[in-house]
Amino acid sequence: MFGEHIHNDQSHNLDAPPTSTPAAPQPPQAEHTTKKEDTLFEILKIVFLAVLIVVPIRVFIAQPFVVSGASMDPTFENGEYIIVDQLSYNFNQPKRGDVIVFRFPLEPSKFFIKRIVGLPGEQLILQKKATIIINSEHPEGIIFNEPYVAPENMKTGSFSVVLGEGEYFVMGDNRAESSDSRSWGPINKEHIAGKAFIRLFPITHIDFLPGSIK
């Protein structure tokens, strides 16, 4: 057996003619080497399969992010861990109220998390206590209800913008502390990485579609 010493205890027969001494058994070096190679192969195979599964998921389906900053308070707090759905927007258009992660237009290596407030072709009028949407369905304008924005976090002053084709107006829920489309303009769909899908950390805040309008 592998790893054991085999003792050959040969008895002596005084009446029998002497016999030649049998050759000593070879040490199991070849077997040892083969098993090490098999183990290494199995490890490499598992690693390869893991990479084959995980990489496409990370690139095309879902990706983890950690929230940094207070621009989405109280919906998302600094340090929260979220998984972003990168697949849905390949089949559906982003909707008003979606919480998205996107590449910052002025520095694409950075990712921001904000909420979509304005859709392509719409006019937005931001007032001190209200966000008014003007579009083909509501040519006279309609107030967009934003229960996730605390009254003390609503922006002061007024702002108006007309969005072009493929443009989305995004803002943080903490309007007083957010750098968003009010400062650097709307984003295009190609900037969007995906929609907030699951909040995993902290454990007490685990949530599916976190920040969605109930």
| Residues tagged active-site | 71, 114
**CA Rg value for the chain:** 32
Question: Strand 207-208 and strand 123-126: pairing?
Answer: unpaired
Q: Determine the Cα–Cα distance for residues 155 and 22; give it in Å rounded to an integer.
A: 96
Q: Within 10 Å of residue 89's Cβ, how many Cβ atoms?
A: 17
Cα–Cα distance list, 119 to 15, 83, 136 (Å): 106, 24, 12
Long-range CB contacts (within 8 A, 24+) of 130-135:
133/96
Place of tokens 């195979």: 45
